[in-house]
Amino acid sequence: MDILFAQIQADLRSNDALRQTGALLQALQQSAAGRDISVIAKSACEEIVASPASAVSKKLAFDLIRSTRLTTDLWETVCAGIRTDLDFPDPAVTAAAVSILAAIPSYRLGKLISDCNKEISNCFDSYSDTLRHSITETLGCILARDDLVTLCENNVNLLDRVSNWWRRIGQNMLDRSDAVSKIAFESVGRLFQEFNSKRMSRLAGDKLVDSENSLAIRSNWVSLMIDFIWKKRNALMARSLILPIESFRVSVSPLVFAVKAVASGAVEVIRKLSKSSGSRSGYGNILDLGNAEKLVGVSDVVTHLVPFLSSLDPALIFEVGINMLYLADVPGGKPEWASQSIIAILTLWDRQEFSSARESIVRAVVTNLHLLDLHMQVSLFKRLLLMVRNLRAESDRMYALACICRTALCVDLFAKESVRRGQKPLAGTDITSLFEDVRIKGDLNSVTSKSLFREELVASLVESCFQLSLPLPEQKNSGTESRVIGALAYGTGYGALNWTEPALEVVEVCKPCVKWDCEGRTYAIDCYLKLVVRLCHIYDTRGGVKKVKDGASQDQILNETRLQNLQRELVKDLREVNTPRTCARLIWAVAEHIDLEGLDPLLADDPEDPLNIIVTTMNKVLFNVDSSATTTNRLQDVQAILLCAQRLGSRHPRAGQLLTKELEEFRNNDLADSVNKHQCHLILQRIKYATAHPESSWAGVCESRGDYPFSHHKFTVQFYEASAAQDRKVEGLVHKAIQELWRPNPSELTLLLTKGIDSTYIKVPPSGYTLTGSSDPCYVEAYHLTDSTDGRITLHLKVLNLTELVINRVDIRVGLSGALFMDGSPLAVRQLRNLVSQDPVLCSVTVGVSHFERCALWVQVLYHPFDGSNAAVEYGDGDYAEDEIQIMRQKRSLRPELGEPVVLRCQPYKIPLTDLLLPHKISPVEYFRLWPSLPAILEYTGAYTYEGSGFKATAAQQYGASPFLSGLKSLSSKPFHRVCSHVLQTVAGFQLCFSAKTWFGGFLGMMIFGASEVSRNVDLGDETTTMMCKFVARASDSSIIKDIGSDLQGWLDDITDGGVEYMPEDEVKLAAAERLRISMERIALLKAAQPPPKHSKPDEEENEEEEETDEINNKKKEKKDNGEEDGKPKGPSTLSKKLTAEEAEQRALQAAVLQEWHMLCKERGTKVH
């Protein structure tokens, strides 16, 4: 290998272009094989890039540079070669030099393009198509990136040049060369895409915070391009038509984005963001446009695109179809635009073409389904469900299901409301007919199924109904979402109960799900029963069907009758339930709300009577011997059945009679434990009392609350079972899709476009952390940004030369420790040139994080005060002939000596552990079920002081703040989800529960228990109180707890910003013992202060003798108080004969709780009166 590398280097040093090309190709082959070619890259930089060479050799050398890592010195060599080549007479060489600009590191790019701005501008005017193509392509990639936007923010001259280059790129869309025109369209499209998603910046590794100025700069460029495209749209459409058909696709997106921005009014907001005056001629013309002219512009673009929907190129059909859908929801848009696009896109599915984009096809169709007219939506439903069923990607399948379910509710509500308003009914719009496809229906009615699709469908339908029951979100902007919200609002008429009509159809369609055998999974069935219980509670099915004379409307009577029939059918299905865990839940859902008074008394002995079926099934559950963890939760099932028995038996005499017999039998059976036997005894007494006193049946039964106290989550012992894990996975996917669709988190750009300019939406860069001392010659300040999606951390450094000299060269070295890595290199080097005194210079380093661990970046500053002082031998600046090329290389290789560097070691920059966490939303019930199953545990104690009384505490309480939580207030800004909290104000105690997940999926739960203690030091009337906090952390992985426990004070500083001080266990025990000693001394003093009991004695002598005896006893008692008797020290336990310290504390706590409860009751009573 060494021989091969030596041969390659020898060929590179030769003057033969053919040998150089062959050597570079060999080097690229070695690089592709994974070998280290840094030695060859160094030779290529010096012999090819920085020397005269052919255009082919230059391009191959630049490809070699892209495939390896260069040192800072080599990048300087490359930049010098680029500057030389930009003035080279051969445009092919210049084009090759321009192409490498995109690969220049961010910290070196700004200076290079500032120095070469004239040469770069000249490239746009070149007669060579290759050079114009190269400059348009390269600048289109660079100028849209975040790092260049930030450079422009700090350099006004550079900003003007870049803005001018964007104008030139826009003009190149009309270039005579097809290749140049195509790449110009691509570049402008990339700018628009970057404005929305910042995809290029993410690929470049930049994790920068948008400041207000950088947002204004990018908005200015976007508005420039929109203005240009709108004014030149006819010319651009004509130019795109004469592009080759394979290149036409890139011209679609920029045209559509610009026209949509003008037609929807978004360009006005973009212009406000750019802070540019609207008085310029172009801007003024757009602002003065009327709606008709805007709509004509949109129609022209649609007319331009429609013929390409019948193209033979699948990628072109998809691109045109997607962009026409994007235009279809502009104000005045036509449903035909959407229907033509969707038909064309679905044709791709039928032709089995473009199969790699199956998910994209379905997502595009379901997202824009509401743009179609009602007839077409109904005709597409059955087909879409089958398409979605065949999707492999779970997230896409769930999102499509959520869209379909929402549209089904939309169609049903809209059609019913239209009929109410006198319009002709449209067949097939009710939910029952939308889901009547033979395969879907067969899937719903079959007992067993291998696919999860039917469970996902039922869960999505039910969760969509629950979303419909909530208030509809406000929509202030026109567009896709506003149409959906408008249709839902039209259908519900903003009525509180109108959502129950489609929900009633949903529970009728999905009724077969209670018979499913899902291999232990219950999430879909739980969702269904929850909706049934909610509807029964709303319509109060206990009281039977209401009548017209009671004020019920015809619709209400019809709905209640349907619900009563559904309940009776569910009761019959009790015998056919195939999932044991579902049986008790179905009994709960039906028994709580069934109309017992409406049952026919003549059928009391009929086995088909609903009450007899319920009681028989209760007997099966109570006497179920199979209590294995995989089939039932017997504890939970028995509790549910006993509660149902109490409520059913108290409501109806016959039910009470039947259930009394069953409970007596269960109570005397060995299957009932002692707790169940006591419960049965209590329930029997209540049923007996309710039967004897019908007017007081409330003793055993309460009003139905519509709650469904079951979950698919199993007890912690069964937590790791496969079916429960599958349930949790499906639940997470369904909830995420429903939330993303119904109540999405808007992007920052959307917020800015809809709500205008507000500084709260502009991110503020984090505060810097000083790494150097006050007397150091260089000042270094740093802050970091994290990106959990890519698992990266970017360290941003600001270096300031504090000396009065100009330092020619400064090297920044960044070492890594912990879980940080950087592409196989443990050390990053940044080289800064010409540091002027007091002039800040910025640079950044991006590193990856491999796992959850404490990590730090170690910064060293090496500056060379004597750089360039000792010059080498000068050869003069004469021109050299071809045969003297070796002398020329020798001159270039002799560089000035750097001299001895001065090394400045900075403080380590530690990354807080909390920055590697993400908040994890979880319900309290699930949190406490999960808590005991977490294997790793850590307990420690912290303390902080707060204002217990005085002016500050009073002021804090007036404004609703709890002064005793002051040390933990920083937790609200940390990446923890606050699950629940319990605060006891009278004794200043609390319990807080938090949950989080690491970037890598590990779960971390944290509980904080607090109890306050009065401090002895009182300062200026404000009595400070110490809060003792017990922190308990549990995690799914022991390594998480190990890293937290390695530096507990550091962890407390991370989560509380230094507000809590760690206390070792020894100190805690000593403090507890000291508090106990002080309290016992106080008790002893109180007892000693009590007067002795007086006894009447007839004899004065006896009184005198007793006084002497008392004096002796008092002396002994004083000795006992001091802990000494007969020279033996004694503990204080003999002083508290009646109550121990723990009992006294417990009684005080109980008294405090009762006092707080009494105060709350008084306040509530005052508010009521």
Which run of H or E residues covers position 994?
strand 989-998
| Structural contact between residues 232 and 282, judged by C-beta atoms closer than 8 angstroms | no
3-state secondary structure (DSSP) of residue 147: helix
Could you write out the DSSP letters of every residue in 186-229? HHHHHHHHHHHH-HHHHHTT---PPPHHHHHHHHHHHHHHHHHH
- CA quadruple 281, 283, 288, 292: dihedral sign: positive
pLDDT at 235: 92
Judged by phi (left if over 0) then psi (alpha if -120 to 50, else beta), residue 886 lies in: alpha
**Of 974, 1017, 987, the residue nearest 1150 (C-alpha):** 987
Let me know how long the chain is. Answer: 1169
Residue where the block lists tokens 């036997």: 677
Judged by phi (left if over 0) then psi (alpha if -120 to 50, else beta), residue 126 lies in: beta
pLDDT at 543: 75
* Helix, strand, coil content of the chain in percent (nearest 5): 60, 10, 30
3-state secondary structure (DSSP) of residue 827: strand
Which run of H or E residues covers position 1147?
helix 1141-1168
Judged by phi (left if over 0) then psi (alpha if -120 to 50, else beta), residue 813 lies in: beta
**Of 438, 433, 295, 452, the residue nearest 377 (C-alpha):** 433
pLDDT at 178: 92
pLDDT at 846: 82
CA distance 576 to 1026: 62
CA distance 532 to 466: 11
Most distant CA pair in the chain: distance in Å? 141
3-state secondary structure (DSSP) of residue 1139: coil
3-state secondary structure (DSSP) of residue 707: coil
pLDDT at 880: 40
pLDDT at 1022: 44
Own/partner pairs for 387-394, CB < 8 Å, 24+ apart? Answer: 387/349, 387/362, 388/362, 389/439, 389/440, 389/451, 389/453, 390/358, 391/358, 391/359, 391/362, 392/359, 393/359, 394/733
CA distance 376 to 336: 11
| Residues lower than pLDDT 50 in the chain | 200, 203-207, 277-284, 477-478, 715-719, 757-761, 869-883, 886-896, 950-960, 1016-1022, 1096-1137, 1168-1169
CB under 8 Å to 658, separation ≥6 — which residues? Answer: 611, 612, 615
CA distance 135 to 116: 13
CA distance 693 to 699: 10
| Structural contact between residues 1003 and 997, judged by C-beta atoms closer than 8 angstroms | yes
3-state secondary structure (DSSP) of residue 1051: helix
522 secondary structure, DSSP code: -
pLDDT at 759: 42
742 to 139, 466, 748: CA distances (angstroms): 40, 11, 18
CA distance 113 to 123: 13
